[in-house]
Amino acid sequence: MIRAKSETYRRVRTLKPWEEVIGVLLSIEEDEDFLIVKLSSATLCYHASSKEAGIIGERLNGKVGRRVSILATDNFDEPFKIWFHSE
């Protein structure tokens, strides 16, 4: 069990500017420290108090099961472009 957990956490990451991830949104989990976004292709993690977490959490809320593209930008005011794909 511990091994599986550590393997999962190794795959957790943040996006660098102009990096994109595309996948089905599996879940959004938030605790006092982190927002964790699980996609079919990657798991993203941001500090819960960060601007990035606020934007991602707001835009993805209620969208579990949808195919989504998340593109990180280098713009502080708009750090992500998020698109939802039609099925």
Output 1 or 15, whichever has higher pLDDT.
15
Query: Which one-letter DSSP state was computed for residue 49?
Result: T
Q: Which band of pLDDT confidence, cut at 50, 70 and 90, is reported for residue 87?
A: low
- Spatial neighbors of 10 by CB under 8 A, at least 6 apart, are none
Q: What is the pLDDT of residues 21-71, one digit of tens each?
A: 999 999 999 988 999 999 999 999 999 999 999 999 999 999 999 999 999
What is the value of pTM for the model shown? 0.82
Domain annotation for the chain: domains and CATH numbers = 2-84 (2.40.50)
